[in-house]
Chain A
């Protein structure tokens, strides 16, 4: 049963919430040790107290859209009174005094935060192996990574340890793990969901996005999260939309699909390619008009993405100096610079340091024009090119990732391959468009995802298309191998 159906049941009989919560904790007890989705899991008794509050409210007529649902939250989103580490030693003791806007919105609809999920340190990585605390394993194959950086949010939902999770997507950090775990991940239009309380990595690129087990829950949670927030200056002044009205098994309009030639070339695994083709046929059978287009400039997207992400990261992460919060060194008899150097040397991991150094370099006097400014220009060209294509088509479809989930340790030994896993997703962040990863196939018991990209604020159409694909493929509420013995 998905979240949308559960909430209807809870509205009718709130006592069912306890049953659902206890069952979920029972499953967590069985699978969490091998998967490790959570950095912080709230104790059951604490969550049961929150259930009581929600259930009492329902009895008083409360019709919260998420009433009673367990929501897992990536440890990059600020939660008042609840440890928020960003997967880093730097923030291993940081408890925010305030809630992110998305947390306020989830709570207002009766959602219950169950815990905080593992991630690559400061969202830098594509495998969740860069967490300062432990790695998270893919529930489909425990020897493989779940993708990242929102790996823990993807596995928590995939392994039924929560119904909905929130991740953050700077270059594919929601969509890639969704693809690797057979779940649905949404990267909303830049500015549709508030970033207030999302701990910044690549400010101009990232959005909070949900990971769920079917398209209906994507529509449900997106309806709650989206809408203007005056506390975020990059928030779009748009009214909240009820995306569940787009959950129709027939096309709401005649959709024209573009496939980018450069995204289905020799760099893509053959199994990924054949799954991708299967999905395209499914849509063609539903009357979608499919064409191939070429965007040669897309080859510059990844270097552009990394220059901008690292530049912003080097700036955003400068606030971590151990003076006001976070990892604090003994400052006795030290100069400021020495205290900073010590806390930052110890508090940050290798990947974070690498990106801070590169970001500092590209913003330095004399290099700014060559790197940051040039990247900004390429970014504009990419935006123009995609705008041109999306004036003729309703959706662009690509594989979410060029390959199946790598084995643990594999990507770390080959950093180029690691960076390349973002190749289809990162472009979208550069130009702020909405995109979704949905399951396209299961190959040898490993999920494969495809990515739908639409024009700005076309989340409704994307949900309609994803829903049609889900109905035709039957790929929803998938049960990964690690969980099968217990359901």
Chain B
């Protein structure tokens, strides 16, 4: 794929879910689950004569993100009107910010590093905007194309959004996914976004291939889908280019059920949004004091946390990076370490087993924690240390817990997972294995390393429940007896 010279830039829309009220009025920011059009007032309904007043907490949130992304912060805050007609937009203009003549975005020229296969890569941030979310269009009897009628719910209208725009520094879909996961982790660490809330992070991805034009895929709601959508686009566009087709500049939508992109409209020209500074919101100075105050409240960020994990817990860079890629995962790790210590084995289990199954089962970390809480992992580690179970069993219990919702100890004791540490039982199995594998026994007698094969056979016969250390010990003991018996016979 690298020879296609792929350029990817992302626009990430993030709802600042930690705020109590909307961006320009005092309506609640908790719009989810309310009866339609009940979380509204004259301002967020755009009624004639109603005026916006900036929620200063949203500005502080934007400043915090700007600092975390190492942006240059504008010395004035200017809101601009972005005009387009659409029924979810109550004023038919969106109060947003514009980086151009007569206006300025709150922050520009930032930087975020991502870690791809052990290498760090800097991705430039073009700008950050504060803007209002529109209402929501509902198609009650089908889709945009098939529904007989349309309903509009304005409960979401005016929810504070940050638009974070990267430069086209990403070169493949995987990097795009990692970028979004890192950004989400930063936002979670700052405490601004609860990514579990549906629709709290939405991505528009711009992609161009050498010899093609810029194509925008709009409204993708997860980092995994961003990766999928971009992969789809690379295949689609490179095939088209191979066939000598022209890639037009266009906007496409991501269909997250069919996992394909669909053409929405061809963009011949840059859309003219007629931006101009909103005269209802006079520009105000962003003071040094405000920036300093914000900076002083900035919590530990993912990069710092990775370093601390390596230093304090002796984790490898890889383990630390994976853990910190999601705040929930990193918190889970630290909670477990607090309960039962052993950072390295805990870290390994979380990254190699828990995380793998979370991805495989398409769970969120928070769902996973509910199904497999910290104390369950610690219990298993404790059982492991006491040789009640072995590592293989531990690895098997994790997906069972995630799938069934049963507690780990229930699974251990009720489903016969307890480790075989009874010497008599083990010796019986070992004797069987020795009988059935005379050649391997012969090898083991001359070459101590060949004993592993026999251990493996014991494990297989015991369905993995044999305590590996004890098995090893008993096998050696039995082999020694055999060797003595044979030498006596000689």
Identify the A interface with B (CB < 8 A): 77-78, 84, 86, 91, 94, 96-98, 100, 195-200, 203-204, 230-234, 311-312, 314-315, 318-319, 321, 323-325, 336-337, 340, 360, 363-365, 368-369, 372-373, 376
In the bound complex, what is the Cα–Cα distance between A315 and B85 (angstroms)?
11
* B-side contacts of A369, CB under 8 Å: 101
Given A315-B276, A369-B101; A196-B48 close (CB under 8 Å): no
Q: Are the C-beta atoms of B279 and A204 separated by less than 8 Å? A: yes
Flag if B280 contacts A96 (CB, 8 Å): no
A204 to B281, CA, bound (A): 10
Contact at A203–B280, with CB atoms within 8 Å?
yes
Chain A residues lying within 8 Å of B50, measured Cβ to Cβ, are 98, 196-197
Interface mask (B34-55 → A, CB under 8 Å = 1, otherwise 0): 0000000010011111111110
Does B270 lie at the interface of the complex (its beta carbon under 8 Å from any beta carbon of A)? yes
Question: Quick one: given A196-B49, A197-B49, A231-B53, are A373 and B101 in contact (CB under 8 Å)?
Answer: yes
A384 to B42, CA, bound (A): 37
Decide: A365 and B270 in contact? CB cutoff 8 A.
yes
**A341 nearest CB neighbor, chain B only:** B85
**Total A-B contacts with CB atoms under 8 angstroms apart:** 102
Residue in A closest to B92 when the chains form the complex, CB atoms: A318
Distance from B389 Cβ to chain A, minimum over Cβ atoms (Å): 62
Q: What is the bound-complex CA distance between A91 and B47, given in angstroms?
A: 11
Min CB gap B154→A, angstroms: 8
- A360 in contact with B52 (CB, 8 Å): no
Contact assessment for B51 and A233 in the assembled complex, using a CB-CB cutoff below 8 Å: yes
- With a cutoff of 8 Å between Cβ atoms, the chain B residues found around residue A314 in the complex are 274
Bound CA–CA A374/B391 (angstroms): 74
Measured between beta carbons, the chain B residues less than 8 angstroms from A340 are 85
* Selected A-B contacts with CB under 8 Å, 30 pairs: A77-B49, A78-B48, A78-B49, A96-B42, A195-B49, A196-B49, A196-B51, A199-B49, A200-B48, A200-B49, A203-B279, A230-B53, A231-B53, A314-B274, A315-B93, A318-B91, A319-B90, A321-B92, A324-B90, A336-B85, A336-B86, A340-B85, A360-B274, A363-B275, A365-B272, A368-B101, A368-B102, A368-B274, A373-B102, A376-B102
List B contacts of A325 (CB < 8 A).
47
Give chain B's interface secondary structure class: loop
Interface residues on B, range: 20 to 34
Q: Within 8 Å of chain A (Cβ to Cβ): is B211?
A: no
Residues of A within 8 A of B327 (CB): none
Closest to B48 in A: A199
Q: Is the CB of A233 within 8 A of B53?
A: yes
Nearest-Cβ distance from residue A312 to partner chain B, whole angstroms? 6
CB–CB A100/B49 < 8 A = yes
A361 to chain B, nearest CB (A): 10
Query: Which residues of chain B are within 8 angstroms of A86 by Cβ–Cβ distance?
Result: 48
Q: Report the separation of the CA atoms of residues A197 and B53 in the bound assembly, to the nearest whole angstrom.
A: 14
Instruction: Enumerate chain A residues within 8 angstroms of B281, measured Cβ to Cβ.
Output: 233
CA distance A204 to B279 in the complex (A): 6
Residues in B whose Cβ lies below 8 Å from that of A368: 101-102, 274, 276
How far does the Cβ of A203 sit from chain B's closest Cβ, in whole Å?
A: 4
From B49, B53, B83, B101, residue with most partner A Cβ within 10 Å = B49
Q: Which residues of chain A are near B282, meaning CB under 8 Å? A: 233-234
**Besides the known contacts A318-B91, A373-B101, 20 further A-B residue pairs in the complex with CB atoms under 8 A apart:** A77-B49, A96-B47, A96-B48, A98-B42, A199-B49, A204-B279, A230-B53, A231-B53, A232-B53, A233-B51, A233-B54, A318-B83, A319-B93, A325-B47, A363-B83, A363-B274, A364-B272, A368-B276, A373-B102, A376-B102
